[in-house]
Amino acid sequence: MAAMLYVDFQNFFILILLCFLSLLSYSLFFKKPKDSPRFDLLPPSPPSLPIIGHLHLLLSSLTHKSLQKLSSKYGPLLHIRIFNIPIILVSSASVAYEIFKFHDVNVSTRALVAIDESLVFGSYGIINAPYGDYWKFMKKLIATKLLRPDSLERSRGVRAEEVQRFHKSLLEKARKNESVEISKEAMKLMNNTLCRMSMGRSFSEENGEAEKIRGLVGESYALTKKMFLAALLRKPLKKLGIPLFKKEIMSVSDRLDELLERILVERREKLEENHEDGDMMDVLLAAYRDEEAEYKITRNHIKAFFVELFVGATDTSVQTTQWTMAEIINNHNVLEMLREEIDSVVGKARLIQETDLPNLPYLQAVVKEGLRLHPPGPLIVRTFQERCEIKGFCIPEKTTLVINAYAVMRDPDSWEDPDEFKPERFLSPREDEKELSFKYLPFGSGRRGCPGGNLSQIFVGTAIGVMVQCFEWKVEGGKVNMEESFEGMNLSMVHPLKCFPVARPQNSFFYL
Ligand code: HEM
């Protein structure tokens, strides 16, 4: 009897499980939401797989390239789908122009939160904040307290010290005949600079704190695709009570929370000792305590801001430095011209400084061209808040928009020799700013475009400037392998650039 009951119970369990799975697949894959778009009014859709639609393209290792291939075959304005969720895919400058010129406010929200309470791209941060009061408050703080010309002038000393440290570290490697992994050295430079600029301290290399934060940021990158998928499927899965990847995302978030809580407490103690620096952390803490503040921020808002700064602002500059240096090494004529410009403007008696950059147009063009060919964020993701019409097609409200900036910046209709590294293209007077603004998208565009463009030009320009001014560079095999990897958040190199610096004799003695 007991055995029979057991078998019955087993069958019953299997039946319940089957019912649940059927319900799950029905609501995920087949049931059309009440507000389901009319697919005949959407832009054309290329052939897709049953049930999953175009999911395999988004999960492919080089998503930007798979999507670029798709649009070169089927057109620059497409609709693709993940299960029954539509996504609008844009791959040309002319469609991007129409969107940013006429629908900028409509697409000024990303709405891609995977887990609300996560400090990594959750709902406390600025990246996923809806276009509203909180976003406006934070954007104003960033623009005025971190990035305004007078704030940048005040923090110039910090950047100069970190650039010198970067130069000394490379010099040390050159003297010992050791190779340099460019992304590692650049990461120390960008991380320390940004931390000192925004929170008045850097993470210590000695007690392992710097390694810990780099590890956590790395873990966040590795979760990017999962977070994107979790955010896209959030609505249907929420109904079924399935929090996709929540455990993994919250594990990283909790460890970042612990680290930042320690820093906030440390800062409060310093404030009590009359610390008067006025960096971003002071400003945010003051807003947190201010009952009358324009927007009442919480401790989590402050932590999420710093997490997004580490995750969003450092690796982008690091990858740009690495890719641009790789292009310079592979294009000897560019290296020669760049060095000639730096030697003639800066001379050989001192290290290049960020104040030299406005007088180095070729260096600026080299960095721009590096970003055109290798945008760290090749896909710009937004959401259409309201129904609208683009190029005669009807786009329903709450539809996800993906602009393939990589494809736009290699579009042969917009760029001559689109796959060639030709910095001179940015020196031509024909390339006026207005024309460029919709076909050159490494920083996105519109009101949700990246506010850190100028700062990153300073970071990358001075790092590249130091490397070209002070060293010859040797790579094994003579050429850098330019294979791309897009497993994390940013476009990086499958084989990280590793090369040997040889100090140029006249530039080795700046500090003696
Ligand atoms: C080479 C370096 C960088 C690249 C390529 C880059 C790229 C981007 C891109 C593509 C976006 C999305 C834009 C869009 O949706 O249209 C973005 C957003 C953002 N970036 Fe950057 N970024 C860089 C450096 C920085 C730096 C140094 C900062 C620090 C201040 C920064 C802060 C931000 C912020 C706060 C956002 C969110 C803006 C918003 O949602 O309103 N970025 N960045």
CA terminus-to-terminus distance, the chain: 92
Q: Is 507 helix (H, G, I), strand (E, B) or coil?
A: helix
Ligand 1 pocket: which residues have CB below 6 Å? 126-127, 139, 142, 146, 312-313, 316-317, 320, 376-377, 380, 442-445, 448-452, 455-456
Ligand 1 centre distance from Cα of residue 440 (Å): 14
| Nearest residue (CA) to ligand 1, atom 1 | 317
Residue 201's pLDDT is: 74
If one residue of 443, 454, 457 were mutated to test the ligand 1 pocket, choosing by the most ligand atoms within 8 A of its CB, it would be 443
| Nearest residue (CA) to ligand 1, atom 40 | 127
Ligand 1 atom showing the smallest separation from residue 147 Cα: 30
Name the residue among 311, 313, 341, 418 with its Cα closest to residue 373.
418
CB atoms within 10 A of CB 477: 6
Ligand 1 centre distance from Cα of residue 41 (Å): 33
Helix axes 280-289, 246-272, angle to 10 degrees: 90
Compute CA distances 374 → 325, 330, 461, whole Å: 12, 15, 16
Q: Give Cβ neighbours of residue 219 (< 8 Å, ≥ 6 apart).
A: 252
Ligand 1 centre distance from Cα of residue 510 (Å): 34
**DSSP 8-state code for residue 109:** B
Ligand 1 atom showing the smallest separation from residue 128 Cα: 40
The amino acid present at 293, given as its one-letter code, is: A
Contact predicate 331/421, CB 8 Å? yes
| Nearest residue (CA) to ligand 1, atom 32 | 452
Ligand 1 centre distance from Cα of residue 100 (Å): 17
Name the residue among 407, 412, 409, 410 with its Cα closest to residue 437.
409
Rounded CA gap, 322 and 176, in Å?
A: 22
| Nearest residue (CA) to ligand 1, atom 36 | 450
Ligand 1 centre distance from Cα of residue 212 (Å): 23
Ligand 1 centre distance from Cα of residue 312 (Å): 6
Kindly state the tokens that stand for 485: 């990897």
Ligand 1 centre distance from Cα of residue 161 (Å): 24
| Nearest residue (CA) to ligand 1, atom 29 | 452
Ligand 1 atom showing the smallest separation from residue 449 Cα: 16
Residue 283's pLDDT is: 85
Name the residue among 120, 102, 79 with its Cα closest to residue 402.
79
* pLDDT average per 10 residues of sequence, the chain (512 residues): 44 49 53 55 94 91 95 97 94 95 96 90 92 93 88 93 96 96 95 87 71 83 86 82 86 93 82 64 86 88 91 92 98 97 94 97 98 97 96 95 98 95 88 76 96 95 97 95 92 96 77 52
Does the annotation list 450 as a binding residue?
Answer: yes
Ligand 1 atom showing the smallest separation from residue 135 Cα: 41
Ligand 1 atom showing the smallest separation from residue 126 Cα: 40
Ligand 1 centre distance from Cα of residue 443 (Å): 6
Name the residue among 370, 357, 369 with its Cα closest to residue 428.
369
